[in-house]
Amino acid sequence: MESQLTILILAAGLGTRMRSTRAKVLHRAGGRALIEHVVNTARELTTPDRISVVVGHQADEVKRLLEPAGVRFVHQEEQKGTGHAVLACRDSAPAEGHVLILYGDCPLIAPSTLRRLYETQAASAAAATLITTELDDPTGYGRVLTNPDGSVSAIVEHRAADSTQLAIRQINSGIYCFVADALWRHLSEIRPDNPAAEYYLTDIVALLNEAGQHVQALPVADPAEVLGINNRVELAEVDRIFRARKVRQVMLDGVTVERPETVTIDADVHIGRDTVIGPFAQLLAGTRIGEQCRVGACSILTQTELGDAVEIGPFTVVADSRIDSGGVVGPFARLRPGNEIAAGARIGNFVELKKTRFGAGSKANHLTYLGDTEVGAGVNIGAGSITCNYDGSRKHATRIGDGAFVGSNSTLVAPVEVGEGAYLAAGSVITDAVPSGALGLGRARQLVKEGWVDRKKGQ
């Protein structure tokens, strides 16, 4: 298939009905930009050098997003319709084989469906095959007209259809597979004879019929596959379908998802068997979760890696961090980017970490901030302890050795180092290094004034 199939993805439009300054194909559903979904699907069918993306609005941003995919780009200076977009590819596309037309705002189409489309076309004498589906309410869609033999004679847009044609429920998806020679020979015959003065690719169906060429339909049973996106309501519906598909798949793969309709899991997230995901959890941006983990309700994990048997308490937010096997984080904890939590460590409620390496078996059970900190193994961080890592212009590091004990309400003013097995007395402000095995004490001596209250009241 790879050597015979060229794929053109039309992605040049702004999408005015989105009411956005961002090009429509850059909007996200299922954790990815719409155009990323379509390109990923195309890459399952042919090699990247045979995939061309037609760009226009915000072309540089679209190119930057898709650059790792290795696809080609064709610039459409003016957006004059789908036929005009395909015409922009004529000089760079192969003149032989088959051409598959996709859309950057139609991300739910399955690779298996497109493979079936190509195989159906390649095995026939037809000049083109188009995907159709039936809708209970086809309002707004182009209707598929057929010849007595069942072949497709024309596509009539909704606003141009008569009452008989409006009763047709079979609609055009806009996804086609053409014999390349037939496409390029007749494409230039399309005329902008419509109120929008645009070149509609749908017109080529009638042109092929007039030339004695055969066009056939390939119906798909699931209308969701060919859903296009024109506004935020339709974007939300496509996102919902992506989420439901992903949640269903992880459950079939051995993951328990509690109240699955409330859970968000991005397409590129991996979850190991026997893990339990609580209600309203969000697992985003390539997060990887090991086996037998527990992710609590309302937690948000972004670009995060969990080992096996990790427990994430409810209402915990973790970004760009790694938590090794047996670690416990939360509830109500926040891990900002750049943390490495070693095996068996515990990060408790109302603890915030940033760029911190936290050693095996160490604990910070509550009310703590650690930033730019390296914590050894077996360390206890008392409640209310913080590292002062910012001096107003630069960040500084704190290092706490293995087995150290940091008393409650301690303040470590970076840069500072606490040695192995050292103790910091509760309430201390530590500004100098504390050697291994030493006690660091940095607080004012307590005064007790006997009888002070009675004297105060007597004034």
Evaluate whether 5-226 and 253-440 have a shared fold: no
CATH of domain 253-440: 2.160.10.10
Look at residue 99 in the predicted model and tell me its pLDDT.
97
Residue range 222-245: mean pLDDT, rounded: 96
* 2 has pLDDT over 70: no
Q: Which residues pair with 369 in a beta bridge?
A: 352, 386
More confident residue, 221 or 3: 221
Question: Helix or strand or coil: residue 234?
Answer: helix
Tokens coding 346? 């515990």
pLDDT digits (tens, 9 = 90+) for 99-135: 999 999 999 999 999 999 999 999 999 999 999 999 9
Residue range 383-401: mean pLDDT, rounded: 98
Annotation marks residue 366 as catalytic: yes
CA-CA distances (angstroms) from residue 153 to 144, 176, 179, 188, 304?
8, 14, 17, 19, 53
* 423 has pLDDT over 90: yes
Q: What are the residue boundaries of the structural domains of the chain, listed by start?
A: 5-226, 253-440
pLDDT digits (tens, 9 = 90+) for 311-323: 999 999 999 999 9
User: Helices 203-210 and 180-187 meet at what angle, rounded to 10?
Assistant: 100
Angle, CA of 211, 217 and 222, to the nearest 5°: 155
Q: How far is the C-alpha of 144 from the C-alpha of 132, rounded, in Å?
A: 8
Query: Which entry of 75, 84, 366, 396 is annotated as an active-site residue?
Result: 366
Of how many residues is the chain composed? Answer: 459
Look at residue 3 in the predicted model and tell me its pLDDT.
58
CB 369 within 8 A of CB 383: no
Q: How far is the C-alpha of 414 from the C-alpha of 406, rounded, in Å?
A: 15
Look at residue 194 in the predicted model and tell me its pLDDT.
82
Which CATH fold would you assign to the domain 5-226? Answer: Spore Coat Polysaccharide Biosynthesis Protein SpsA; Chain A (3.90.550)
The distance between the two most distant Cα atoms of the chain, rounded to a whole number of Å, is 112
Cα atoms found within 13 Å of the Cα of residue 159, Cβ hemisphere only: 3
Average pLDDT, the chain: 96
pLDDT digits (tens, 9 = 90+) for 80-109: 999 999 999 999 898 899 999 999 999 999
Residue range 430-454: mean pLDDT, rounded: 95
Considering the entire predicted model, what is its pTM?
Answer: 0.89
DSSP 432: S
Tokens coding 299? 């937690």
Look at residue 178 in the predicted model and tell me its pLDDT.
98
